[in-house]
Structure 1
Amino acid sequence: MNHQSQAVFSRNSRPVVVMNFTGVYNYESFARNCQFVWLDCQHLNGTECYCDEEGASALQRMIADYSPQGIHFIDSGNYHYVTKFWTDKLATPFALLVFDHHPDMQPPLFEHILSCGSWVKDVLDTNANCKKVIIAGASDRLLQEVPKEYGDRIHFYSESSLDQEAGWKAFASEHVSEPVYISIDKDVLDPSSAITNWDQGSLTLSELEQLLAVVFRQERVIGIDICGECSSTLNLFEEMRETEIDNRANGELLRFFRSFEKR
């Protein structure tokens, strides 16, 4: 559904929030901006891959003063569940558009424990304002494992459909009527565009931006987050190469989003 191609954060620009869990952003030049809000998450317990009650409370307190309407960098895909905390702050109905090579709809291994593999399911189960989730770029094989009971609340724009740019308009006209919060895991990209600690998809950065441009022209975007940083290795030279690739991807995505803020 067309929403006059206006992003909420473009009218009242919010600071870029950088949530530094692993320390990786210390080595990415795109983040060296005095106007960015840095949230030091390295000292938090109960947050890596799985988020327990203590970790959840600490993260909710940490982001309490910041708006979900803006751009948020949330470190490795191990912390993709942080999207749930940002979208919990949205006070009106929205659709969640997730670019991810994995659906993140697994049943949790431990009751009451949020995880990077189950957080989309948690959003659907607990957030009444989230009217639907669209997962774009997930492996067609993994999509077959998603529980069927979520019916018309979850829709898939699969990896095999992503090169059909014109298809988004038809898809959105049928499935998207609310403002959109966008969450991007860079594992949707191929390894030449980003390096992550999960298996990756086949999109180039340019192809992702082409599809995002269609979304921005078609929908009302109310917030964005980006994860998919690569965890450290014991190989210093390889780590430097991976960090530079991710730094370039983050900088390009940030420039892309800010170009829409100015329209």
Structure 2
Amino acid sequence: MDKKVIIMNFSGVYSEEPFALNPRFTHLDCTHLHGTDCYCDKDGQRAIRRIIAPYPAQGIHFIDSGDYHYVTKFWTDKISIPFSLVLFDHHTDMQPSQWGGMLSSGGWVKDMADTNPLLNHVIILGIPEASVASIPKAYHDKVKVVTDAQLHSHAVSSRSLAIAETLYISIDKDVLDTNSARTNWDQGTLSLDEMKRILYLIMKHEQVIGIDVCGECPATLGLFSTDNGIIIDDNANRELLEMFRQQRLF
């Protein structure tokens, strides 16, 4: 089981989080890569694809800070059957690319929708109501949204999440409040317990093919020593991992 837990270390942050130090996990060192921070150029894309080439989309992937959330595209490109993406995120990540050929942490979902013929739908959970209008109308049939306010109102139920498709789940911890996670992006208002409740409903009723988690706050920012951020993030990752294990998804 542990070999299906993959730690992708870009910033070095996982060396500070005790949960990630399990030697039975698969550790992928990405700290030497260039052209990958927030924006990923073609050389960076090729390098990341080479690193993850031996590993399947099935499993639990920890992919560092939200600056590297585009790595979800590389994992989902490995899926060979029709699927939908369930995305927990405080942002839509559907901004148009400013540079041709570059993937970005702010636009990778749009890129997936444009290029992956096996992607049926994207279900974004946790964006603010004000962000809904930023999703281009051309994607309204493919992209579904549950806002943070709707999540708080407990509008999400097993019936409302009956997607009936194979799912890949991607979690950016910036959807959580600052008591539940510390990230290097502006954050939402969801508690970790609320997220776990919704995840449980999804995992109980749907077929999940793979999961990734990002939203670390890189140690180079120097925040952990002053506000216990490393403890908060480590706890969130540990709780999520334990929940995934209990569901025996893979």
TM-score scaled to structure 1, two decimals?
0.91
- Hey, what does 2:59 align to over in structure 1? 70
Q: RCO higher in 1 or 2 (8 Å CA, sep ≥ 6)?
A: 1
Check conservation: 2:7, 2:25, Cα contact below 8 A: yes
**Equivalent runs, 1:11-30 vs 2, <5 Å:** 15-30=4-19
Q: Does 1:233 align with 2:221?
A: yes
1:254, distance to aligned residue in structure 2 (A): 0.5
Residue 161 of structure 2 is aligned to residue 199 of structure 1: no
Q: What are the residue-to-residue correspondences of 1:38-57 with 2, within 5 Å?
A: 38-57=27-46
Quote the residue 2:99 is aligned against. Answer: 110
Change (3 A) 1:262 1:170: closer
Q: 1:185 aligns with which of 164, 172, 177?
A: 172
Q: Using the alignment, how far apart are the partners of 1:65 and 1:136 within structure 2? A: 30
Identity of aligned residues (%): 49
Letter in 2 for 1:170: R
Asked if 1:158 corresponds to 2:147, the answer is yes
**Preserved CA contact (<8 Å) 1:165 1:211:** no
What is the SS of the residue equivalent to 1:244?
A: helix
On the 8 A contact 2:156/2:198 being kept in 1, the answer is no
Between the aligned partners of 1:163 and 1:87, the Cα distance in structure 2 is 29
RMSD between aligned alpha carbons? 1.7
- 1:89-137: CA deviation from partner (whole Å, max 9, x where unpaired): 0000001000000000000111111000000000100001111100000
Tell me whether 116-125 or 215-224 shows the greater mean CA deviation: 215-224
Extract unaligned runs of 5+ from structure 1: 1-11
**Contact 2:66–2:216 under 8 Å retained in 1:** yes
Q: Which amino acid aligns with 1:223?
A: G
Asked if the contact 1:13/1:70 (under 8 Å) is kept, the reply is no
2:172–2:215: 8 Å Cα contact kept in structure 1? Answer: yes
The answer as to whether partners of 1:13 and 1:261 remain within 8 angstroms in 2 is no
Matching residue of 1:3? none
Report if aligned partners of 1:71, 1:224 keep a CA contact under 8 Å in 2: yes
- Note if 1:216 corresponds to 2:203: yes
Equivalent residue for 2:138, pick from 140, 149, 152: 149
**Please, which runs of 5 or more residues in structure 2 have no aligned partner?**
none
Instruction: Describe the superposition over 1:204-237 as per-residue Cα deviations: whole angstroms up to 9, x where unpaired.
Output: 1011001111111111111000000002324562
Are 1:82 and 2:99 counterparts? no
How far 1:186 moved relative to its partner? 0.2
How far apart in 2 are the matches of 1:105 and 1:87? Answer: 16
**How far is 1:156 from its partner?**
0.4
> 1:238, CA displacement in angstroms?
1.8
Number of residues of Structure 1 aligned to a counterpart in Structure 2? 249
Residue 135 (structure 1) aligned with residue 120 (structure 2): no
Matches within 5 A, 1:120-131: 120-131=109-120
Q: Partners of 1:96 and 1:116 in 2: how far apart? A: 16
